[in-house]
Amino acid sequence: MGPSKNLAGLGEDDDTVASFPELLNFCSRAQTLIAELLLLSDRIRPEFLDRRFDAVLFDLRYFDSPNDFESRIEGNEELEALEDCLRESCSAYMQRFFLLMNGAVIYHLELLKYLNDLQEGLYVQCTLDRVLDNEYGQQLLTESIALFGCMLILMEHFMSGHLREKLLVAHLRHDCCFDSPNLEHICLLCRAHVPPSGPFHHATSPFINSGMVSVQKTEDLFARFPFPKLVVDAVIHRLRNDDLYNQVHHYPDPQNRTVALSLQSGYLYILLFYSPEFLRNGFVMREIVDRFFKDCWVVPIFLHFVVDLFVSWDAYKEAKASLSSCVSPTFIWDRCQYHCTKVTHLSSELGSVLSNCVLTKDYVLDNSQYLVSLIRDCNMTLRWLLLHRASGDKRSRDIVTSVGLALQVDENNLLQLLLKTSQLEFKVKQLYVELLESKEALWLEKKLCISNCIEELSAHCFGSWASSCKIKNESLNDWFRKLSTEIQSLDCTRTGSSSRAIYRVLSALKDVEQSCPIDQIKQWLFEAQKYLQDMIKVLSLDDGAMSAFSVITDALYAWGYVARFGEVLGKNIEQDPSVVLSLHTYFLKFGLLLNVPVRRIEQNQSSDLLCVSNYYSSKYAAQICATLEIIPVILLGIYTDDDLQAQQPFHLLSRIAKDSLPEFMQLDQQLNLARAANKISIISEGVLVMSRNFRGLISLDLKDWLEGQVRKELSKRLENKMKSFFLLPNVGYDILEVNLRTLSAYILSQLQMMESFQDLLHIPGNRIWEETFAKVLKQCAEKEHAAFIKRKQGSIVSVTQLNDFSKAPTFYGHLLHQLLHLTDPSQSMFIEPMSGW
């Protein structure tokens, strides 16, 4: 008899992920393994890419005759030195890689055993059908298998088999751990696979997505680590027919069905390689393509990593034929034209909504459906264009690119649409949260208004027209009083009964309005109906809208484009600094990068949460810093040298004649300085807003980062200016004086600029300038000192050679050379009364 295992909490009321602890644990571990894989792929040691180390790095052929390979190194001093270098610099990385491979193997073995036991019914009160019938059970089962497949694809894409073999063999040799358990499976995991080739390499693409993934013969790779076919087929059946994540209702338009099912379509893509007979079944593939891929062929599989179906299914005739029949060149042209045309229209519509004083809480309350629809349309258009502009298939990519060029929709237009969309999403979310927080107060306010309005009606309802109203056995006056009492009893927490009561009252007031001949009474009735409609809108406020927002505003697929957009953003900021004010909304739109990969880990309460969260946070922060690197350059370039140097005479004059005062007012320069200060203030405000919104989200202090970047850019500018001081070996006094005055004026202008930064950017400008200038001078002195010592240590050095600074590497040396030349006793003399030469 099999083991009597009991999944904690599995019963008739399973409605949380905690009801499936084993599956939740598998999903949590899979996310951790993928994060570790991505981290190691980002930090591949250069020694394993350096051909000099090839002589001491071996593939799996090492196990066939290890003594032969070891004999090549023994006694060879050069190779032994390389071996020692490899051991010292890469041992920690190799150890970490081995633990990752071992963790992946253990994950597969344990999940395989669990699925076999589940299939055989060894768990008490739990079968495969019951897991699949549960909403959370089918989600976790799908993810536990698909995420492992995703890890295999990403591993093959980022760390080639040849690299994995060298890492594995090097670790085993250096640690002498050839008896490690699971070594056979680890070798199978690391064994080289067919390298990527063919149409994926789209180096000529004008718009490259860094998340594009392509692995040839994925079926063979997955066959090394199979799962029970019955389980895989059952999961595929659920994916084909169900809405696993309940997202379809967020996309009411049937044309958007592929986006609504995009999450499970990515998992379906992976699982089909575990049951490749589906890929060779034309009928089944046509059904799958019609439901999941009828208008998209670039599919996200994990975060921003995407695959191109035209490339991935190239080896499967039936699958590619089904895709080609739906996504024909004519269809691609029409679809691209449709979305490119919408870019201009949506940008204009967003501009009108984002204009001053339009977005208020009342506007959001009255137009929530319109705003949600607008945001959904923007995200749909952005998603389609951004994904398919970087297609791995040359033919389809060329069609998308040519249509974009014809309709003048380039990456700058897409960036502008993305910026405006993120602004609208941020403001609407912010206002909606405020509405939710004040829901009860709004409800009481509207209820008080309608009560007052009805009391007014009750007080003024008399005369012959009252008898014409169809109200039995009571006067209209009494009826209004009862109506007011009924409204006062309404409760916003009882949404269903309150909404029905409000609709009943609305219907009654409309009947009264139709039979009332008095305009004043009609106006009061109209106001009463408006307040009732507002109460219905307040009742509709709930947390479900926020979850819908997180679904339709998902932009993880575009994270791979952020680096590309950084160049365009830099140009836009140079032209219009106010762009910085919206950057916080732009980056927050990708905030799901910090939540999605750790959701299962957090639900599992795993100790891996901190390290995985830190990894994604560091990636997020690094990309933000990379995008903002242009800001210090722009800041230090806002002030022109002429504007700054024009202010210097004021530091030297103690009295100005009245007649020459207009000349010294320098109105043009003052205007330029004011404009420059305004630009700096705008950038400062944008950085402050970003810092405030990122607080608690990532460990990035933008103020400290900006101060460090300003130091770096100021140091670079001072060094470059001092290099320009380099003169011919022998120049006259006049040329030297002019150059020194020019250099002095420039240095003083930089000081003035940093003083203005102190007020506008709230950074210690004076201290930064003093420390940076001192550091630059110190570096110059150290270089000259090193060069002097090197000359002094020469075999035969004369005094003339020792004092020869004609080829000095720094500003100091050139200045010293000019001074020595001008004070040469053979050409000049020192006049003591004048204290000079």
pLDDT surpasses 80 at 336:
yes
pLDDT tens digits for range 653-667:
667 777 777 777 677
pLDDT surpasses 70 at 131:
yes
* One-letter identity of residue 478: D
Q: What is the pLDDT of residue 691?
A: 87
Among 14-23, 35-44, 122-131, 515-524, name the most confident range. 35-44
Q: Say whether both 319 and 181 belong to one domain.
A: no
Question: Band of the pLDDT at 495, cuts 50, 70, 90?
Answer: confident
Q: What is the pLDDT of residue 209?
A: 53
What's the pTM? 0.86
pLDDT surpasses 70 at 474:
no
Question: CB neighbours of 618 closer than 8 A, spacing ≥ 6?
Answer: none
Q: What is the pLDDT of residue 746?
A: 84
Residue 57 within any structural domain of the chain: yes
Average pLDDT of 760-766?
86
pLDDT surpasses 60 at 52:
yes
Q: Which residue has the tokens 């499970």?
A: 264
pLDDT surpasses 50 at 197:
no
Q: Say whether both 447 and 432 belong to one domain.
A: no
Residue 445 within any structural domain of the chain: yes
Average pLDDT of 210-236?
91
Q: Say whether both 343 and 391 belong to one domain.
A: yes
Q: Say whether both 321 and 391 belong to one domain.
A: no
Residue 592 within any structural domain of the chain: no
Question: Band of the pLDDT at 720, cuts 50, 70, 90?
Answer: confident
Q: Say whether both 49 and 168 belong to one domain.
A: yes
- pLDDT exceeding 70 applies to what percent of the chain? 86
Residue 602 within any structural domain of the chain: no
Question: Band of the pLDDT at 469, cuts 50, 70, 90?
Answer: very low
Q: Say whether both 93 and 228 belong to one domain.
A: no
Among 457-466, 476-485, 683-692, name the most confident range. 683-692
Boundary-marking domain end, from 164, 193, 222: 193
Residue 721, judged by CB atoms within 10 A of its CB (0-12, 13-18, 19+), counts as middle
Q: What is the pLDDT of residue 298?
A: 93
Cβ burial 552-581 (10 Å sphere, 16+ → b, else e): bbbbbbbbbbbebbbeebbebbeeebebbb
Residue 199 within any structural domain of the chain: no
Residue 612 within any structural domain of the chain: no
Q: Say whether both 450 and 377 belong to one domain.
A: no
Q: 574 vs 517, which has greater pLDDT?
A: 574
Beta bridge partners of 793: none
**Residue 306: HSE in the Cβ half-sphere, 13 Å Cα cutoff:** 32
Q: What is the pLDDT of residue 515?
A: 65
Q: What is the pLDDT of residue 225?
A: 95
Number of folded domains in the chain?
A: 5
Q: Say whether both 121 and 12 belong to one domain.
A: yes
Cβ burial 110-120 (10 Å sphere, 16+ → b, else e): ebbebbebbee
pLDDT surpasses 70 at 835:
no
What mean pLDDT value characterizes the chain?
83
Tokens of 427: 């403001």
Q: What is the pLDDT of residue 759?
A: 84
Residue 443 within any structural domain of the chain: yes
Q: Please report which residue ranges of 474-518 form alpha helices under DSSP H.
A: 476-488, 495-514
pLDDT surpasses 80 at 277:
yes
Task: Report how far residue 795's alpha carbon sits from residue 802's, in angstroms, rounded to the nearest whole number.
Answer: 12
Average pLDDT of 474-490?
72
Q: Say whether both 425 and 445 belong to one domain.
A: no
Among 263-267, 633-637, 736-740, 832-836, name the most confident range. 263-267
Boundary-marking domain end, from 193, 225, 246: 193
Residue 288 within any structural domain of the chain: yes
Report, in angstroms and rounded to the nearest whole number, the Rg of the chain calculated over CA atoms: 36
Question: Band of the pLDDT at 176, cuts 50, 70, 90?
Answer: confident
Q: Say whether both 636 and 693 belong to one domain.
A: yes
Q: Which of 133-147, 354-368, 457-471, 476-490 has the lowest mean pLDDT?
A: 457-471
β-pairing, 123-124 vs 5-6, is parallel
Q: Say whether both 649 and 760 belong to one domain.
A: yes
Q: Say whether both 636 and 694 belong to one domain.
A: yes
Q: Which residue has the tokens 């789209």?
A: 202
pLDDT surpasses 60 at 266:
yes
Domain that holds residue 790: 630-834
pLDDT surpasses 80 at 491:
no
Boundary-marking domain end, from 327, 345, 370: 327
